[in-house]
Structures are given as structure tokens and as C-alpha cells.
Chains A and B, each alone.
Chain A
């Protein structure tokens, strides 16, 4: 298989009054596990249900209720770990993270602080052709999601819905390897892509199924390299954590704002307080979320309701065997097997459904031509109608049929576009449509020559002019195409006209 080497992208640099500043970013991504039931109860995970209807007594923390782990959620976390080339820990354990909030009825979140289920892994984050950063994953742990508080339904009250309470989350913790706002977005996009390939998280940010806490600090040029050499955090600046980003655009704006805020403080001779901040998209600023006095003291301790989670290597191996081909491998294969450009391969593998569709179209056909048609014609047309590949009116078989007709020389590229529009709006078998509507390209040299003769005979003055000035031959080509309803093979027409004018 093709192996590509990458150069690392340059870190984002912000010019300061005295010297430049670089950004250092680490992300904690909370990904909702795709499952039917919650992590520790049998209630549904369905989004958008009637408030407090997907709630078991366990989720509502009724006295005496005990959590029982959903085996499939564990499997999904392992699968995600394998997809991120991470170590799977056969022994992990659950801890209680204690804090009070109305949407957390237990008064604690069951999480995995000391023994997470997944250890170190990595993600390749591409920032353009041949430019990529390998972002190290520190750990992935399983934990419960909290409920949802709604603050705008009443002036004096907050409304609490526990439907999301207890839904399984994977918290994916990166090392501080991300060096700019765009990289942060690309990293989240890549994680999302991998998890969608794996089927472990649907990645829907709007519904809050994928959210990120972003740790931002700034340092002087050279400091980061010293950190990488020693892994000593003292070389880096003090970080602030921006909570709960669920939009790529806002995340980038928040990072940029936060870095500039920190630089302004440092250049003023101040120091950064490590704290949690919230981003306000309306004002485009971050503000402190909790004052220092109320700094979190979660008093973690092992959850007495749950035994440690032990899994077997055989079971992990079984999951590994069912892993699909992942984006990086698929992209490389598309480049090497179908001769696609880096860009086209990236576009086609961004979503697994698109990639599968393309492969069905390209099977036994010219890969590059198939890629052009899928990306430019089909994706373009679907985008216009705000449709996804899943509701494409043109099937892979139909689009493949059109491409076969082009390759066989039955139709020209121009006619193919008309044919595509017919198949898109009316459906039907491309070959049959071409036959029944007489769209077949005329490759019969005799027929084309007859058409050329006819037009030349009718326009003797034009023939004389064109003999003087060969550039005018194009006029004849146009006339012949018009006379044949665009069905004449343009190459053949050009050749015959040139021969006649020169002869």
C-alpha cells in the first residue's frame, strides 16, 4: 500500500508587542456513544423525546437503585480505541466525580479517573496535501452524560429534563499537540469521521452528541519544542479551559479570542489564572465560569456500586476483526487503486457512505472519471437540493451506467450531462434512455461526413474564408453539432472538417 510522509503544519503565531506568541491546545472531546440504551440503565437514548420520558429510576437516582453496565457501550468504547490505534486496558474501573447541579440527580457522575478503558493512541490530522500532525491521544474513558437544563422557558425557574442523564459518553483526551484554531477543528472533524466510520458516535454536534472542552495556553517560540523534548509542562504557559464547544466555527473563534486575551494579560506583566471559561458567541468573548473560591474539588473515589470492569483479550480481538477500513487506509487505497488526487480521495472518503457509493460507481470503470462524476456532478447536484447521498435519486448503478456510455463512446460528455439530469429527475436505465431518446453519439464517419458536406455546400463563402483562416473552422464544427443535435462525436467532426478545408 501507498505510504505517505507528512510535514507538520506550522503553529499559529500571534504577534505580540515584544515578541511572537504560539498557541498550545489540548482537547477533551465528549462523544455520545451510539447505543439503544443508557450506560447503566435500560432507558432509551433517543434524542428529542418527551421530557423525562427516557428516564429509569437509576437515572433519576432514586434511593436503592443500582447501576448495571451496558455491555455494548463498553464494546463501542473498545472499538473507538482500536480505531484510534490505542491501547485497550483489560482492567478498568469506575469512579465517582462529586458535584452538585440540578441536572445531575445522583450528585456525582460515574466516570473513570484512575483506570480508563482506553490508553494511549493517535490521530493523523491532515491540514492539506502532505501536511499533517499526529495528535497523541492520552486516554478515553467511559462516563455518564448529565441531563439538560433549559433556562429560557421561565424568568425565575430553570427546567430540567433527565432524558440525557446517564447516556454513555466517551471522553477522548488529547495531549497538548494541537497548535492552532484550524488544527483544533480539523482534529475534531477527523475524530468525528473515524467514529462515524466505526459507528460508535453519530457526531451530531447540533444535538450535542459531540462537544469539546478546549484547553488553551500560549508560549514563546521554542518553548513548545522544549516541552516536546522533556514532556515537562513547566515549559508551557498556564492553560484555561473553555467548556462545552459544540460548533466548529465558535470553537475556532473562542480559541483565537482566548489566546489574545492571555497574551494581553502576559504582556501587561500579569499572570494567567488556571480556570474554566465559557464562550459567548454573541459577544465573541470568553468569561470566567466559576470564581476561584468555588474551584472544583470533585473528591473522586472508586464507585462502590460497580466492580472493576475486566474484559478479555479474545473479546477485544473479536472486535478488532470487525473493524471497517478506516479513513486513512481508505484514502490511500483510493489514491493508489483508482489513481485519484489527494484532494479527490479526501473528499470521497470524508463520509463512509460517499466512499462506498464512489466505489460502487468506480468498480470496473475509470476511477478518475468516476470521481469527477461523483464529486462534480452528483455531489454538486445533491448539494443544490440539500440532499445527502442516502437520498440520492441517482443510484451508483445508474451513474456507473452513464460513465460506461461515455467510455464506450456512445455519448459525448455534453450529452452525458443531459442524460444525468434526466436520470436524476425522471429515473430510468441510462442505456435505455439513450436508445429510446436517440441521444446516441454519431460515430458513423459516413453520416458525419454527409452532414459536413451538406453544410459546406450550403455555405460556400464560409468555406473560402475558412480555407484562408483555419480559425474559422470552429464555425463549421458548431453547425454540424447543431445539425446532429449535439450527437456527433466532436473529435470525428473536427477531423473531417480539417481534412476537407485543407484538402
Chain B
């Protein structure tokens, strides 16, 4: 798989990262280098090997169904560029 300029632009758009047009070829190059590395990994035969999901033998940690958090509207909204009447106010988004 080879990443061209258009694909790089599309990935940047999906990630909502603005990339100048002249920077796209270099970005595509970087993607290709990364994919090349992954292709190398793909050469390893992992048939029948369980994927390792953690380096320590842990079980997913669970929590009880108890309300222990919240009631901090002021803190939640503290970093918002615009907040009104307890809401985040954002530019109109309507489909």
C-alpha cells in the first residue's frame, strides 16, 4: 500500500489537522515509511498466537455502580472558550 498526496490530505482532514498543500508530499512520505515498517512486521508468522494486550498479567479493572463524581459544572466549563447558562457554546452545528 502506498499513500499518495490525496490520501494524506484525506487523513489529515479526518483528524481535523490543517496541513499546508506544500507539506502534503512530505507527510505522504512519512506515512509510507511507517507503513513500510508495519509491512516488515507482517512478515512474522503469528498463526495461532494469542495477541498480547498487556505486558502485565492483568484483568480489566472494574468499578462498582456508584455515583462518585460530577457536580462540578464550573470546573468542566472552565476551559471552554464560550459557555452560557451552564452549556458549552459552540458555532452552530446543525445537519
Residue of B nearest to A168 (CB): B65
A17 touches B (CB below 8 Å):
no
Q: How far does the alpha carbon of A98 sit from the alpha carbon of B92 in the complex, in Å?
A: 21
Whether B89 lies near A309 (C-beta < 8 A) is no
A252 touches B (CB below 8 Å):
no
Whether B70 lies near A56 (C-beta < 8 A) is yes
Q: How far does the alpha carbon of A329 sit from the alpha carbon of B59 in the complex, in Å?
A: 37
Residue of B nearest to A39 (CB): B63
A363 touches B (CB below 8 Å):
no
Whether B59 lies near A310 (C-beta < 8 A) is yes
Whether A150 lies near B73 (C-beta < 8 A) is no
A-B contact count (CB 8 A): 136
Per-position binary interface string of chain A over residues 21-54, scored 1 when its CB falls under 8 Å from any chain B CB and 0 otherwise: 0000000000000011100011110000011111
Q: How far does the alpha carbon of A215 sit from the alpha carbon of B87 in the complex, in Å?
A: 33
Residue of B nearest to A288 (CB): B95
B61 touches A (CB below 8 Å):
yes
Q: How far does the alpha carbon of A30 sit from the alpha carbon of B16 in the complex, in Å?
A: 28
A299 touches B (CB below 8 Å):
yes
The stretch among A137-145, A155-163, A181-189, A331-339 that forms the contact with chain B is A155-163
A289 touches B (CB below 8 Å):
yes
Chain A contact surface mostly: loop
A385 touches B (CB below 8 Å):
no
A73 touches B (CB below 8 Å):
yes
Closest chain-B Cβ to A168's Cβ sits at a distance in Å of 10
Please indicate the chain B residues that have their CB under 8 angstroms from the CB of A41 in the complex: 69
Per-position binary interface string of chain A over residues 282-322, scored 1 when its CB falls under 8 Å from any chain B CB and 0 otherwise: 00000001100000010100100011111000000000000
Q: How many residues of B contact A (CB 8 A)?
A: 36
Residue of A nearest to B13 (CB): A294
Whether A299 lies near B14 (C-beta < 8 A) is yes
Q: How far does the alpha carbon of A101 sit from the alpha carbon of B88 in the complex, in Å?
A: 13
Please indicate the chain A residues that have their CB under 8 angstroms from the CB of B87 in the complex: 51-52, 150, 153, 159-161
Residue of B nearest to A51 (CB): B86
Q: How far does the alpha carbon of A146 sit from the alpha carbon of B1 in the complex, in Å?
A: 34
A124 touches B (CB below 8 Å):
no
Closest chain-A Cβ to B31's Cβ sits at a distance in Å of 13
Q: How far does the alpha carbon of A41 sit from the alpha carbon of B68 in the complex, in Å?
A: 8
Closest chain-B Cβ to A72's Cβ sits at a distance in Å of 3
Please indicate the chain B residues that have their CB under 8 angstroms from the CB of A58 in the complex: 69
Whether A162 lies near B62 (C-beta < 8 A) is no
Please indicate the chain B residues that have their CB under 8 angstroms from the CB of A158 in the complex: 89-94
Whether B59 lies near A307 (C-beta < 8 A) is yes
Residue of A nearest to B54 (CB): A307
Whether B94 lies near A159 (C-beta < 8 A) is no
B77 touches A (CB below 8 Å):
yes
Whether B82 lies near A70 (C-beta < 8 A) is no
> With A50-B86, A52-B86, A98-B14 given, is the CB distance from A37 to B77 under 8 Å?
no
Q: How far does the alpha carbon of A309 sit from the alpha carbon of B87 in the complex, in Å?
A: 34
29 contacts between A and B (CB under 8 A): A42-B68, A42-B69, A44-B70, A51-B73, A51-B85, A52-B88, A53-B73, A55-B70, A56-B69, A68-B62, A70-B63, A71-B62, A71-B64, A74-B62, A153-B85, A153-B87, A155-B92, A158-B91, A158-B92, A159-B84, A159-B85, A159-B88, A160-B90, A278-B95, A290-B95, A307-B61, A308-B60, A309-B60, A310-B60
Q: Closest 8 CB pairs between A and B?
A: A72-B65, A42-B68, A159-B87, A42-B69, A56-B69, A43-B70, A51-B86, A71-B62
6 more A-B contacts (CB under 8 A) besides A161-B88, A307-B58? A37-B68, A42-B67, A42-B68, A42-B69, A54-B71, A158-B92
Which residues of B approach A to under 8 Å, CB–CB?
10, 14, 16, 53-54, 58-73, 76-77, 82, 84-95
